[in-house]
Amino acid sequence: MIRKVVDLALNNRLIVLAIAFLLIAGGAIAFHNLPVDAYPDIADNYVTVITQWPGRAAEEVEQQVTIPVEIEMNGIPHLTHVRSEFTTYRYFCCTLCYCSTFNNLC
């Protein structure tokens, strides 16, 4: 079965090229006619900093690691907000949200 298809394709090269050209042209036309909504939205950028200090209490990790990291990260340009949380797996997550550079609201 496959041998017949390959033989047919090799014997009729112009037909195979014409079909390939039609498929490529159809794909280009379909891509050109896509609505704008099909492209992803450009949203704010997020960075997550995970801090962990095995063998230490949560209060020690917060005071000696997480708070200094938050203080240093607050001076970064275009930073809109910082959110920190202590997870159930005994580490702190510090999420930083940056303003998108595509709009002039920052």
The pLDDT value given to residue 62? 77
CA dihedral (52, 57, 62, 63) in degrees, to 10, reads -130
Residue 69's pLDDT is: 83
The model carries a pTM of 0.49
Q: What is the chain's length?
A: 106
Helices (H), the chain: 2-11, 13-32, 58-61, 67-73
For range 98-103, the mean pLDDT: 65
Domain boundaries, the chain: 2-37, 45-98
* Distance from the Cα of residue 106 to its chain's centroid: 21
Digit-coded pLDDT (tens) for 46-67: 888 887 788 887 778 778 887 8
